[in-house]
Amino acid sequence: MTCGSEKVSCQSLVPQRTRNLQITIPASVPPSRRSIAPRSRGRGTFAPYSPLASAVAPARLRTVDGLRAFALALVLFNHASNTTGFPPWLAPLTHDPHLGFAGHGVKLFFVISGFLVTSMLLRELERTGAIDGRRFLLRRARRILPPYFAFVLILGVLRLAGFFQFDTRHFLAALTFTGGAGGELGHLWSMAVQEQFYLAWPLILIVGGRSIAVYGALAAVILLPIARVALATLSPETTSVYLTYGASIDTLALGCLLALGRERLAGNRWFNRIVESPWSIPLLYVVAGASLIIGWRPSILLRTPLVSLALVLLLERCLRHPDRGVARLLNTRWVVYLGSASFSIYLWQQPFLDLFSSPSSASFPTNLLVGIAAGLISWRLLEQPLAVRRARARVLAVEDSGDRVDFGRLTVDSDARASIGRGRRAIAGAGSHPSGVLTMPRPRETSDVRLAGARG
């Protein structure tokens, strides 16, 4: 379920011949450690993705990382509340049947993922007239699978050494993304849902187009809550209906619908009023909690959709106003930093925050700190270097490409290729420059550089 001292800043790539492309690199940074990270907050920011780069990314991307950090905090708090040493007076914040926020962190991750993935696919469809499903899956695999399989295999080795006790079937379920994992691997059910979403959703857009995708997402939003009620009625022994494989697709679908209809909704007066109202999100949350008063079936039917809708409004409001209210807090440096590493931290927190985990570090607050530290180590040693390598590969591909190159955050046409090539060579040789600041002339012709996506 997805940023250092190296920084390269580019002025907005706009059609003004008098502007120069300025690259700032500390003289102390060796050439082998250099990568590209944006400073400009405009639309034309040249910034192949690097995990730490999101700390200075455009406000929209910073906000997404900030929301990821918020979702991660909800997950960590919820899991820690079940462990030894957690303050009992804080436990009701997660376990209260009416207003507890248990599970809301994963819901927010799903909403963000549905929105970002759909936005990327729609931009590719608009830009090229088609969606390259193979290329999309390869991008997802390169980002997600290395840290994921490293985590699963390391825990498998530790289980053989006697540190963990999860079943072999849980290990196999985690390896195959088939759900059903438990114990220290129990949180990977959400990764199984995400991977199946990555397989199915692009196919729906490719085969059915935008209109079929809208109808499919709406059907999921309407039918899945009904299916959860039926499951809870027919199988009352089910411990968590939402965690049952496939029963949480409607949360992803709401994020997809926001991306599919955002342009049209932006002109809707009622939608804008709801988004801008400070009471809409709290009201949805209170109504979701109060649904249990009516009965457990209405609660299962209404609570998840209402909470997910509140999270969709939170995402939309933060994207619209990244410098206001909660979004301003989410855009602070350390929140964005943690959000950039949220995937690795999410993977590694479970062995230390699981209720049945056996290590001595499984007592609060040591378990929380150790889990975060393990995730940051994985992010720093594995996820970040791979992201930087992917970014450098995309830069190297510019000189040999056709008319357009997709860098994940922007698209560069052939008019900008020569300037970018000179920039790459300037970066490689910047170590001998005493000030670490180089200036390159802008290309004479207008360059079409625009945002083309965000990491999902």
pLDDT digits (tens, 9 = 90+) for 408-441: 444 444 455 555 555 555 545 444 444 333 344 4
DSSP type of residue 129 = S
pLDDT band of residue 272 (cuts 50, 70, 90) is very high
Give the model's pLDDT for residue 307: 93
Give the model's pLDDT for residue 90: 85
- Closest alpha carbon to 246 in 192, 286, 209: 192
- Which residues, in sequence order, are bridge partners of residue 416? none
Task: Return the amino acid letter for 271.
Answer: F
Residue 133 contacts residue 120 (beta carbons within 8 Å): no
Position with higher pLDDT, 391 vs 113: 113
pLDDT digits (tens, 9 = 90+) for 39-76: 443 433 333 333 333 333 455 688 999 999 999 999 99
For the chain, the domains span: 20-451
Task: Return the amino acid letter for 344.
Answer: S
SS3 110: helix
Handedness of CA 173, 178, 180, 181 (dihedral sign): positive
Give the model's pLDDT for residue 400: 54
pLDDT digits (tens, 9 = 90+) for 96-126: 766 677 779 999 999 999 999 999 999 999 8
* Residue 272 Cα distances to 268, 269, 320, 321, angstroms: 6, 5, 11, 13
Q: What is the mean pLDDT of the chain?
A: 76
* Range with the poorest average pLDDT among 21-25, 161-165, 311-315, 395-399: 21-25
Position with higher pLDDT, 234 vs 77: 77
Q: Is the pLDDT of residue 241 over 70?
A: no
Backbone angles phi, psi at 65, to 5 degrees: -65, -35
pLDDT digits (tens, 9 = 90+) for 170-198: 899 899 988 767 778 888 989 999 999 99
C-alpha–C-alpha distance, residues 160 and 448, integer Å: 55
DSSP character string of 50-94: -GGGGGGS-HHHHHHHHHHHHHHHHHHHHHHTTSBT--TTTTHHH
Identify which of 17-31, 89-103, 308-322 has the greatest average pLDDT: 308-322
Contacts (Cβ under 8 Å, ≥6 apart) of 388: 35, 50, 51
C-alpha–C-alpha distance, residues 306 and 360, integer Å: 39
Give the model's pLDDT for residue 60: 62
Q: Is the pLDDT of residue 4 over 80?
A: no
Give the model's pLDDT for residue 9: 37
DSSP character string of 158-223: HHHTTS----HHHHHHHHHT-S---GGGGGGHHHHHHHHHHHHHHHHHHHHHHHHHHHHHHHHHHH
Give the model's pLDDT for residue 164: 84
Does the model's pTM come out above 0.85? Answer: no
- Residue written as tokens 């059907």? 219
Give the model's pLDDT for residue 454: 38
Kindly state the average pLDDT of the residues 299-323: 92
Position with higher pLDDT, 268 vs 409: 268
Q: DSSP H helical segments within 97-179, as ranges?
A: 104-128, 133-160, 168-176
Kindly state the average pLDDT of the residues 289-300: 84
